[in-house]
Amino acid sequence: MHQTLTAVKRAALAGSICFGILPTSAFAFDWSIVTTESQTVELNSNQFLRPTPAPTLGSYSTLTAKAVARTPTSTFDFDADGSYRKYWGPGVEGIPSEYINYGAIAHYEITEKGNFDREFIEAAWRQQSTALALLNDFGFATNANGFLNTLRAAGGFDRSITARDTISLLATSTHTSFEPSGGGGTPFTDSLFRGNWHHSVNSITAVNVSSEAELLDYDNAFNTQAQIYRNQAGVETTLSPVLSFRANVGMAVIEIQGVNGTIPLISAGAGGSASSIDWIGDAVLTYRVLKNTTLSVIASQSISPSVVGSLFKRDTIDATLSHSVNASSTLSFSASVNRQTATTTTDFASASVTYSYNFLRDWSAQLTYRYQHRFASTGGTAIIDPITGFPTVGGLGPADSNSIMLVVSNSFTILPRGY
């Protein structure tokens, strides 16, 4: 109960601050407020991908609220959400069976000559069970206790400098801490700065060039600091009315200072420094197979920090085939394979089929069958794994899971636009 009251107080304080920083003219905005409630029930043969499978029954409750205020040249969004997960059955023996996740985001944006000329600022706060954060990011269950808190601030702008050229700048910083303090996990700050140039070659083709620097400061005994510099170039084109393609490729340079002992691929002494380099990229292919059927294929390789600050190299291929049966229902198939590389390499594969149905104006339901497989972890190349207080994926054997999930959602308009 104490945690719930604390969360409510923090959400109220965040809302007061966000509303307080708005200019006086905000009170003349055209307001709208919409809430959505969803309830999920999942039956899974091996929810946490344990080498020895055991079934679980899961129940997830989620409540979201979105308030939007508009003028002809500006928009203010305030989003809040909260969710609660509970598991029953032999599959949760020895690990946490309850998880919570809640937070809020405030976003203020000014649009000038058009959609390509805007400035924005954003603030966000979130608290979630540390075990849930690790489960969502790493794909396996841990005995981690307590909560993981993130506080983020961001700002940036887009500018059309010519009829064919647009530049974008973004700056964001996120501080991650743990409750209870000192109970596990290393607090760290993740700051990212990005610049992007977009040039339209003609009506169907454009090129992109981007550069970004990500700086990570860890509050550990060695004051570890890591920097990731990414530079990419890409192209996007509409090959036909039914086929489009986008791709970016480049290099990532990783540098680290304040290292103790041996890091995979790199050896460094206490207070030492080291660096590494690898390629990164992403590609998206979208093909409208039929009038109501679309195929999307996404492939990427990235190097980025996990929710607890450990650096991962991730390779992913996702394919989704979506078919609109009629105005009320959709059938989709998806498959994915991905690889996580840190101190070891772990591969995952999954496939699912989902049927979605809007049976009333504000009510919808989804029924999903999903199969997941985790391959045995192997020793492999790793990028950099600073001391974070949490283990990375390692020493895990193969595992499978089959699940059936039913989601029912209801959206309710508290305040429609124009009132």
Q: Which domains, and CATH codes, for the chain?
A: 2-18+29-415 (2.40.170)
Task: Please state, as a whole number, how many other Cβ atoms lie within 10 Å of the Cβ of residue 279.
Answer: 11
pLDDT band of 346, cuts 50, 70, 90: confident
**Is the model's pLDDT at 9 over the cut of 60?**
no
Q: pLDDT by residue (tens digit) across 363-377?
A: 999 999 999 998 888
pLDDT at 182: 60
Mean of the per-residue pLDDT values of the chain: 85
Half-sphere exposure of 9 (CA within 13 A, CB side): 6
**Is the model's pLDDT at 235 over the cut of 90?**
yes
CB 400 within 8 A of CB 371: yes
Query: CA–CA separation, 166 vs 196, rounded Å?
Result: 8
DSSP 8-class letter at 90: G
pLDDT at 271: 52
CB 211 within 8 A of CB 194: yes
For residues 271 and 158, the model is more confident at 158
DSSP 8-class letter at 376: P
Q: pLDDT by residue (tens digit) across 48-59?
A: 888 888 999 999
pLDDT at 275: 78
Percent of the chain with pLDDT over 70: 84
pLDDT at 389: 53
Distance (Å) of CA 283 to CA 106, 151, 165, 211, 238: 31, 31, 22, 17, 14
pLDDT at 28: 67
Least confident span in 68-82, 187-201, 270-284, 320-334: 270-284
pLDDT band of 248, cuts 50, 70, 90: very high
pLDDT at 280: 96
pLDDT at 112: 80
* Dihedral (CA of 139, 142, 147, 150) sign: negative
**Is the model's pLDDT at 296 over the cut of 70?**
yes
Q: CA-CA-CA-CA torsion for 340, 344, 345, 350, nearest 10 degrees?
A: -60
pLDDT band of 108, cuts 50, 70, 90: very high
Least confident span in 192-196, 310-314, 330-334: 310-314
- In the three-class reduction of DSSP (H, G, I as helix; E, B as strand; rest coil), residue 280 is classed as strand
- 186, two tokens: 């290393």
**Is the model's pLDDT at 134 over the cut of 90?**
no
Least confident span in 62-66, 169-173, 357-361: 357-361
Least confident span in 61-75, 129-143, 166-180, 186-200: 129-143
- In the three-class reduction of DSSP (H, G, I as helix; E, B as strand; rest coil), residue 18 is classed as helix
Percent of the chain with pLDDT over 90: 58
pTM score of the predicted model? 0.84
Query: CA–CA separation, 118 vs 133, rounded Å?
Result: 33
Q: CA-CA-CA-CA torsion for 21, 25, 27, 29, nearest 10 degrees?
A: -110
**Is the model's pLDDT at 246 over the cut of 70?**
yes
Burial class (CB in 10 A: 0-12, 13-18, 19+), 77: middle
Residue with tokens 């919409």: 34
pLDDT at 391: 53
pLDDT at 26: 41
CB 306 within 8 A of CB 312: yes
pLDDT at 259: 67
pLDDT at 22: 47
Q: What is the mean pLDDT of residues 109-135?
A: 88
Whether omega before 180 lies within 30 degrees of 0, making that bond cis, reads yes
Closest CA to 417 of 125, 113, 30: 30
pLDDT at 19: 44
pLDDT at 95: 85
Q: What is the mean pLDDT of residues 121-139?
A: 88
Q: Give the phi and the psi of residue 328 in degrees, each rounded to 5.
A: -110, -15
Closest CA to 240 of 286, 295, 279: 286
pLDDT at 340: 85
Residue with tokens 């794994």: 385
pLDDT band of 334, cuts 50, 70, 90: very high
pLDDT at 189: 96
CB 166 within 8 A of CB 206: no
Query: CA–CA separation, 367 vs 355, rounded Å?
Result: 5
Cβ neighbors of 92 (< 8 A, separation 6 or more) are 47, 48, 56
The rounded radius of gyration (Å) of the Cα atoms in the chain is: 23
